[in-house]
Chains A and B, each alone.
Chain A
Amino acid sequence: MNKPKIITVADDDPGILDAVGMMLEMEGYIVNATLNGNTVLTSQNELPDVYVLDIWMSGSDGRELCKKLKSQESTKHIPVILISASNDLKHSAEIAGADDFLAKPFEIDMLLSKIEKALLN
């Protein structure tokens, strides 16, 4: 049996974090959920297999986090999926160098398929 994949989810909305976390765990993923985007960079935990980052968070910006992750040797290979309720998501994703994006509110199935797709690459 494969080792469960680790998904780091950063969103400053606890409801989303909670619901998405539950769903991913139900699907068999290990979820690192954080309300504070900045801990994504500072976490001493094992590196995840996929990052799911909200763009507008209090205290941090998913696009900036993505850029940093993509610029770090240790993390640049890890797929990043940006999620946001803002309009210009696609554009933001391109600029930040994210692998995929998903507009809020989204279908959980859509998120799961994007994660699966990311894990496959």
Chain B
Amino acid sequence: MNLGFISKGGECGTLIRSIDWAKNPLGPIETWPQSLRTTLGILLNSKFPMFLFWGPDLICFYNDAYRPSLGIEGKHPRAMGKPGIEVWPEIWEVIKPLIDQVLSGGEATWSEDQLIPIHRNGKLEEVYWTFSYSPAYDETGESAGVFVTCTESTPKVKSLKALSESKDELEFALNAAELGTWDYNPLTNKFTCNARLRHWFGIASDTEIDLSVALNSIAESDRKKVNEAISKAVDYPSGGNYTEIYTIINSKTGKERLVKAKGKALFNDQNIAYRLNGTLQDITDEVAAQNAFKESEENFRKLILQAPVGMIILNGEQLFVELVNDAYLNIAGKSRSDFAGKTLWEALPESKTLGFDNILKNIMKTGIAHHGNEQPINLIKNGQRQTVYINYVYEPLKDADGSINRIMVVAIDVTEMLESKRKIQDAEERARLSTAAAGLGTFDLDLRTGEMNTSERFDEIFGYKHHVPRASYVSVIHPDDHEIRLNAHRRALDIGQIYYEVRVIWEDKSIHWIRVQGKIYYDGDGKALRMLGTVMDITQQRNAKEELIRINQRLEIALEAGRFGSYELDIKTNKIRFSDQFNKNYGLLPKKKLTYAELLDFIEPDFKENVVKAINNAILEGTIYQAEYQIRWSDDSIHWIKESGKAQYDEKGIPLTFIGVSFDITETKQLQQQKDDFIGIASHELKTPVTSIKAYAQVLERILLKKGDVMEAGLMKKMDLQLNRLTNLIGDLLDVTKVNSGKLQYNLTHFDFNEMVRSEVEELQRATEKHQIIENLEEVGLVYADRERISQVVTNLLTNAIKYSPNSEKIVVHTMIENDNVVLCVEDFGIGIAETNLNKVFEQFYRVSGSMQHTFPGLGLGLYISSEIIKREGGKIWVSSKEGEGSKFWFSIPIQRPIA
């Protein structure tokens, strides 16, 4: 085997030879094709850097000339014989396409100064290459490898790049400077300048011009000044320096520029200037900017002084007050003189301790603004120490050069705002507390999303310990009440409000009544947004209400059982409601409705007027009304009704309703009548035999007298007197029975009071021989009362007067008017009454006691009956007496009897 192709080849040739190729995909060198051997022979013997990728695995070969490109501690020597992908992983993506392109198309490539960084010298280096990839053919003429000739162009590229950059910088400097250059020869008075200046001046030619021509471009007002400056600069003692600012005007366009000229005169040995050259800089914008800056600074100061918020500008580390506005002084409660020419802490010593000093110093250093909100500050404001709350910003102010020497403080007094905020919070808290105190739960329902916020109390009322989704609240509502809730929600969308009462069932199965009340809130387009409202546990109220209904039902039953009809008259509208039993009492079908007027028409004419009067009086006086009257049913039957009632008033005392009960007392009335009849009959029947016995006794007395049997006749007389007692007793007993049962009948009439008295006196005068009854009557006219009963009282008083004055003969009857009452007095001069017994004489069964007990017989009922009669007549009865001297019995009755 001829291995001559690798017999030389320098270091790389030796390397190839040392490799054990049997383990390589290319196999032992002996088996390599001739095309590979030929190619390698060229490669290894060339002094030009070369590289070869060969075979399907693109195995790498290179020569000694190529080696430096691999660097120290680079890919050499391990790259030799290795597949390309292992050797060049860092650039494989770049070179593989080139290799493929060559292998598939067979065309050679040429790349110049391409940046292909490779790993060498222990790092990834930016390396520029100029290289060619050309096909290497095998024996069949097919491309079997890629032959790379390359030179590293990194140094060349880098120097070129450096050159390019310096050029750029130069151009940039030229452009950036925007300097015009000029050159003046004082000796020739000629003036030259660069293109920029010619453009500025509007000079067409680039030839020398007289200085005067150039000076023509200077604004007339500046021309003299410039001329003098030039003259001065070329004068040797001046040192030759020339600096001037002036305005030039383009002679063609009229454009003005403010320029700054700088120059230097050069002098010869005789100290004569032979040249003055320099630059001209356009400072129009700069000056404008400076002016603008000044103006803005001024505006800024004005702004600060007029600002509605407190502002102060502090200068330097000492924090000198440079500027302070009235609003700031107002917040601080100081006057302008407190701040003038002072540092901040001289002006506001009370605030220094709050740590602001450090903060301000820090801002000076760092340039980072600082702000604070609702900062309480103790100030001596208008002579008084007080706390104000401030929102503030410390803003570093940059000077034109960007340094920070000043701080602007903006302060807003938020004390009042905080107070009102606090007040609102207080009000909210109070509202919250009051709803809490009222046991109200609250909710806030978003009508668009269905989301609902609830208070803890709300959750509690629904039987939950914490907030749950809305559906869970709905789910505990009693199944029978869901419809109520749904209807309420439907209605709420129409009327903007919601109100309903439903039951909820808690987990422990207990049932609770709740009341939901709320209001809908709309957006500007009238779209319902939220529903806010409250929920209240009304279980107790509901139970109380149901209890009330039960009580009312019981009352109804009781009234029904007692056959009490109930009624309620609305006093304003005269509408009247009554129970079924009431209807029954009036002989009406149940549920039949009547007006108040129709109802009154049932009352018999004799009673009607008094009933209406009594009701009106009860309403007026606030008293209980009671009446008994007859009504005529539609079948013409007469029934007795007993009725009572009372008006109900509002808080102003205006009567609202008249409520009462009525009761059919027809049967009672019949019984009463029977009893009255019985009493009448009994009285009659008892008196009848007494009458005949009395008559017999009197007849017998006469007969005996005629016979001359005087003693027997006397016995008969005594018997007759006893019969009189018996008669009186019968009368009193019957009257007492009637009084006690309230059945004493009264027949009210108008009568002449004095006439009645005279009549009774006459009657009694006839029966007594011993006593003289004297009438002392004032004119009293008619009274409205029961004549029989009043005369009974008069008789009783006169009888007593006779009875208890056995040792005197005179009895006086007085009548008089006092106020609206008729007063009667019976005066006797008899035994009198002990003072201790005065108040007992009108008691039932009271009798004179002691030694005279048996002298004055009787049941002791007369005065009791009399006092009852007078009371029933609406009057008074009383006595004045002195034991052993006599008594005065008085009574008074109203002239016009009031409605009972």
Interface 0/1 of B669-705, CB less than 8 Å to A: 0000000000010011111111111111011001100
Q: Does B698 lie within 8 Å of A15, measured CB to CB?
A: no
Q: Does A23 lie within 8 Å of B692, measured CB to CB?
A: no
Count of chain B residues with Cβ under 8 Å from any Cβ of A? Answer: 25
Q: Which residues of A contact B727 (CB under 8 A)?
A: 105
Q: Does B699 lie within 8 Å of A23, measured CB to CB?
A: yes
Q: Does A85 lie within 8 Å of B699, measured CB to CB?
A: no
CB distance from A117 to the nearest CB of B (A): 12
Instruction: Tell me the nearest residue of chain B to A83, going by C-beta.
Output: B691
Q: Does A86 lie within 8 Å of B684, measured CB to CB?
A: yes
Q: Does A88 lie within 8 Å of B692, measured CB to CB?
A: no
Q: Does B683 lie within 8 Å of A85, measured CB to CB?
A: yes
Interface 0/1 of A37-81, CB less than 8 Å to B: 000000000000000000010000000000000000000000000
Q: Does B699 lie within 8 Å of A105, measured CB to CB?
A: no
Task: Tell whether A105 pairs with B683 under 8 Å between CB atoms, given A15-B696, A19-B699, A91-B788.
Answer: no
Count of chain A residues with Cβ under 8 Å from any Cβ of B? Answer: 23
15 further interface pairs, Cβ-Cβ under 8 Å (given A26-B702, A105-B691, A108-B698): A13-B688, A13-B692, A15-B691, A15-B693, A19-B695, A19-B699, A26-B699, A26-B703, A85-B683, A86-B683, A86-B684, A104-B691, A105-B695, A106-B691, A108-B695
Q: Does B698 lie within 8 Å of A85, measured CB to CB?
A: no
Q: Does A23 lie within 8 Å of B695, measured CB to CB?
A: yes
Q: Does A87 lie within 8 Å of B699, measured CB to CB?
A: no
Q: Does B788 lie within 8 Å of A85, measured CB to CB?
A: no
Q: In the complex, A107→B685 CA distance in Å?
A: 18
Q: Which of B684, B699, B724, B788 has the most CB of A within 10 A?
A: B699
Q: Does B723 lie within 8 Å of A23, measured CB to CB?
A: no
Could you pull out 28 A-B pairs where Cβ atoms are within 8 angstroms?
Answer: A13-B692, A15-B691, A15-B693, A15-B695, A19-B692, A19-B695, A20-B695, A22-B699, A23-B695, A23-B698, A23-B702, A26-B699, A26-B703, A85-B687, A85-B688, A87-B680, A90-B788, A91-B747, A91-B788, A104-B687, A104-B688, A104-B691, A105-B691, A105-B723, A105-B724, A106-B694, A108-B695, A108-B699
Q: Does A107 lie within 8 Å of B699, measured CB to CB?
A: no
Instruction: Tell me the nearest residue of chain B to A110, going by C-beta.
Output: B766
A119 interface residue, CB < 8 Å from B?
no
Q: Which residues of A contact B691 (CB under 8 A)?
A: 13, 15-16, 85, 104-106
Q: Which residues of A contact B702 (CB under 8 A)?
A: 23, 26, 108
Q: Which residues of A contact B692 (CB under 8 A)?
A: 13, 15-16, 18-19
Q: In the complex, A56→B684 CA distance in Å?
A: 9
Q: Which residues of A contact B694 (CB under 8 A)?
A: 105-107
CB distance from B342 to the nearest CB of A (A): 120
Which of chain B's residues 689-738 have a Cβ closer than 8 Å to chain A? 689-696, 698-699, 702-703, 720, 723-724, 727
Instruction: Tell me the nearest residue of chain B to A19, going by C-beta.
Output: B695
Q: Does A19 lie within 8 Å of B696, measured CB to CB?
A: yes
Q: Which 7 pairs, one residue from A and one from B, show the smallest C-beta to C-beta distance? A: A15-B692, A19-B695, A85-B687, A105-B691, A108-B698, A104-B691, A85-B684
CB distance from B876 to the nearest CB of A (A): 25
CB distance from B136 to the nearest CB of A (A): 169
Q: Does B690 lie within 8 Å of A105, measured CB to CB?
A: yes
Q: Does B788 lie within 8 Å of A15, measured CB to CB?
A: no
Which of chain B's residues 715-770 have a Cβ closer than 8 Å to chain A? 720, 723-724, 727, 747
Task: Tell whether A16 pairs with B699 under 8 Å between CB atoms, given A86-B680, A87-B788, A105-B723.
Answer: no
CB distance from A15 to the nearest CB of B (A): 3
Q: In the complex, A107→B720 CA distance in Å?
A: 9
Q: In the complex, A104→B683 CA distance in Å?
A: 11
